[in-house]
C-alpha cells in the first residue's frame, strides 16, 4: 500500500489548467491493461465502478502512470479516490476516426473500507464530479423524447497544455437542454456534472448490430462566460439519467 508520504512524492504535477478537473470515488472492476509508454514511463488503463443514486452504476475508464499505482491498489473491488482530468484522443480503426474518452489520473489514493468515519471519506465517499470550462464547437442538438423530456447534446472543446484540446461530449436535461439549443458555436461555458457511461446498440448496413459503450458528462449546472471572463449562471438542474 502506498502511504501518504510516498503518495506525495509520486503524485503527478497538479499545476494543470483549472478548466478541466474531476474527482471520482469507486471500486476497481476488471483487470488493468497496458496503455502506452512515454519516455520510458508506462501507463495503464483500468475501470472503476461508481454507483448512481438511481441504483444503476457507471463504469469509467482510468488511464494512470505506473508511478501512482501498485498491483495491490488495482485488485478487484478495491475502493479508490481518483483526481485528474477527463480527456479525449483520436483512434484510427478500420480507416475511421474514433473519439476515445478516458480519465487521466493525476492522483490515486486507496480508501480503506474501515475508514468510514475519516474526514476524506466523509468528503469524497459518493463523489463523481467533473468541472469543465470550454468552447461550444458544434451546434447543440436539441430534441424531445416521446414522453416530452427535453435533451440537448453539447460538444465542448476544452483547452489544455501544449496547444492541445479535449473534445468532451456532454448531455443536458430539462431547462439546461432548452438553454443549450440557443448557444452559438464559439460560446464559452462552464459545466459542472458527472461522468457517466451509457450502453447503446449500433446497427450496421448488413443488418447486424453490436452493443457499445459511450462516455459523456451529464450536466447538473451550466454557466455562460462572457467576453470579460465573468460567469453568468443560467440554470441549475440536477437530473440523473437512469
- Split at pLDDT 50, 70, 90, the class of 81 is very high
Task: Give residue 230's pLDDT.
Answer: 57
Return d(Cα 18, Cα 130) in angstroms, integer: 11
Residues 149 and 78 in one domain: no
Q: 26: how many CB neighbours lie within 10 A of its CB?
A: 24
For the cut 90, the answer to whether the pLDDT of residue 28 exceeds it is: yes
pLDDT exceeds cutoff 50 at 117: no
Residue after which a domain boundary falls, among 124, 152, 174: 124
Q: pLDDT category, 233, cuts 50, 70, 90? A: low
Let me know whether 75 and 38 are in one domain.
Answer: yes
Per-residue pLDDT reduced to its tens digit, 177-231: 999 989 999 999 999 999 999 988 888 888 888 898 999 999 999 999 976 555 5
- Is residue 118 domain-shared with residue 172, that is, in the same domain? no
Same structural domain for residues 51 and 26?
yes
Tell me phi and psi for residue 71, to 5 degrees: -60, -35
Q: How far apart are CA 193 and CA 85, in angstroms?
A: 13
CATH number of the domain that residue 84 is part of: 2.40.50.140
Domain hosting 174: range is 131-236
Q: Is residue 7 part of a domain?
A: no
Domain end point (choices 101, 124, 147): 124
* Last residue in a domain, options 78, 107, 124: 124
- pLDDT at position 60 is 97
Mean pLDDT score of the chain: 84
Residue 12 lies in a domain: no
Residue 100 forms part of a structural domain: yes
Q: What is the pTM of this model?
A: 0.82
DSSP the chain: ---HHHHHHHPPP----TTEEEEEEEEEEEEEEEEEEETTEEEEEEEEEEE-TTS-EEEEEEEEEGGG--GGGGSTT-EEEEEEEEEEEEEEETTEEEEEEEEEEEEEEE--GGGTTSHHHHHHTT-EEEEEEEEE-S--EEEE-TT--EEEEEEEEEEETTTEEEEEEEEEEHHHHHHHTTPPTT-EEEEEEEEEEEEEEEE-TTS-EEEEEEEEEEEEEEEEE-TTS-EEEEEE------
Domain match, 175 and 93 both:
no
- Residue 237, C-beta contacts closer than 8 angstroms, at least 6 positions apart: 173, 174, 175, 176, 220, 221
Co-location of 39 and 76 in the same domain: yes
Per-residue pLDDT band for 126 (boundaries 50, 70, 90) equals low
Give the percent of the chain with pLDDT over 70: 79
**Residues 21 and 120 grouped into a single domain:** yes
Instruction: Give the span between the Cα atoms of 101 and 168, in whole angstroms.
Output: 8
Q: Would you state the pLDDT for residue 62?
A: 97
132-175 pLDDT tens trace: 999 999 999 999 999 999 999 999 999 988 888 999 999 999 99
Both 38 and 97 in one domain: the answer is: yes
| For range 52-72, the mean pLDDT | 92
Could you give the number of structural domains in the chain?
2
92 strand-pairing partners:
97
Task: List beta partners, residue 87.
Answer: 102
pLDDT band at 91 (very low <50, low <70, confident <90, very high): confident
Do 109 and 178 fall into the same domain?
no
Amino acid at each position: 500500500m502506498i502511504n501518504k508520504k510516498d503518495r506525495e512524492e509520486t503524485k503527478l504535477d497538479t499545476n494543470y489548467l483549472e478548466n478541466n478537473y474531476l474527482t471520482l470515488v469507486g471500486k476497481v472492476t476488471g483487470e488493468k491493461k497496458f496503455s502506452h509508454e512515454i519516455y520510458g514511463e508506462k501507463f495503464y488503463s483500468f475501470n472503476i465502478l461508481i454507483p448512481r443514486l438511481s441504483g444503476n452504476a457507471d463504469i469509467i475508464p482510468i488511464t494512470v502512470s505506473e508511478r501512482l499505482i501498485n498491483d495491490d491498489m488495482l485488485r478487484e473491488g478495491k475502493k479508490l479516490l481518483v483526481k485528474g482530468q477527463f480527456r479525449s484522443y483520436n483512434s484510427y480503426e478500420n480507416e475511421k476516426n474514433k473519439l476515445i474518452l478516458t480519465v487521466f489520473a493525476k492522483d490515486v489514493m486507496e480508501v480503506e473500507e474501515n475508514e468510514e468515519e475519516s474526514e476524506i471519506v466523509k468528503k469524497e465517499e459518493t463523489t463523481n464530479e467533473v468541472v469543465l470550462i470550454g468552447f461550444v464547437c458544434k451546434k447543440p442538438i436539441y430534441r424531445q423524447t416521446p414522453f416530452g423530456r427535453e435533451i440537448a447534446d453539447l460538444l465542448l472543446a476544452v483547452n489544455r497544455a501544449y496547444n492541445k484540446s479535449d473534445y468532451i461530449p456532454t448531455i443536458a436535461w430539462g431547462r439546461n437542454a432548452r438553454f443549450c439549443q440557443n448557444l452559438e458555436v464559439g460560446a464559452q461555458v462552464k459545466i459542472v456534472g458527472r461522468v457517466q457511461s451509457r450502453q447503446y446498440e449500433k446497427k450496421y448496413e448488413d443488418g447486424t448490430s453490436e452493443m457499445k459503450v459511450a462516455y459523456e458528462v451529464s450536466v447538473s449546472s451550466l454557466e455562460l462566460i462572457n467576453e470579460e471572463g465573468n460567469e453568468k449562471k443560467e440554470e441549475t438542474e440536477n437530473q440523473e439519467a437512469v
